[in-house]
Amino acid sequence: MTALLEVRNLSKSYQGVKAVQGVSLQVAPGELLAMIGPNGAGKSSCFNMLSGQIRPDSGRIHINGSETTGLSPERIFRLGVGRTFQVAETCLSMTVRENVQLALQSWSTGLLTLRAFTGRLDRNFRPQADALLALIGLDDEADRSCRELPYGDIKRLELAIALAGDPKLLLMDEPAAGMAMKERILLMQLTSRIARERQLAVLFTEHDMDIVFEHADRVIVLNRGQLIAEGSPQSVRADPAVQAVYLGSGALYAQGH
């Protein structure tokens, strides 16, 4: 198995607080890796280093064979990385389709060619955008302003935008946060299906353990910036260290009696 995402010894501190300490992980094509851990475990910091929002203090990141440590988000996008955010980031002033069209245009031609100045965005990449919207089930909303969408739909739109760059790796920070239960399950099923069909590597975080155990191929557990467990959902669930983190108060409770 050659890993699509390979992370070695990643560390980041903020004014002395060690947010991430020596985290290593790999994700293979077609694999869904869940990163879990309590609040403040360093999950978002990890994600932001992988997608280039923040620079790691040390460690190496390789994506699809090339080193991406310290590259800008724009460069990392060009290497085939799609990303969704814990709090959805879309362009609210544009329509649903335009959001996808812009990502498609950026991926295929960039936005600094002559045609980026002479053309009209809403006429470009229309079929491709509609295909992506159909894939995530937002085709009926294509002409609506993004501002008018329910939050759950905006989260789904983020997936379509992330897929527009024909990614090899998807980074999804709490993809289902803020969605209704049924929507969450559908979104995760869709994500796993796309990942297998297109052989995408997917790294995601999630607080809902049912979703994690249902959809992840493997799970890694972070606590206070360190990786404390790694393995199949079943083995992680049975891991005493993980239980101590998640059921810490329970253990104390048991001791007290």
What is the binding site for other proteins (CB under 8 A)? 51-53, 72-74, 77-78, 81-83, 85, 89-95, 98, 101-103, 105-107, 109-112, 115-122, 124, 145, 147-148, 161-162, 164-165
Closest separation in Å from C-beta 120 to other proteins:
5
52/59 with CB nearer other proteins: 52
The minimum distance between CB 106 and other proteins, in angstroms, equals 5
Kindly tell me which of 149 and 221 has the beta carbon lying closer to other proteins. 149
Q: Min. distance of Cβ 173 from other proteins in angstroms?
A: 11
Which value, in Å, is the radius of gyration of the alpha carbons in the chain? Answer: 19
- The residue among 149 and 229 lying less far from other proteins, judged by its C-beta, is 149
Between 24 and 53, whose beta carbon lies closer to other proteins? 53
Q: Which two tokens stand for residue 163?
A: 């897929």
Min dist CB 201 to other proteins, Å, is: 17
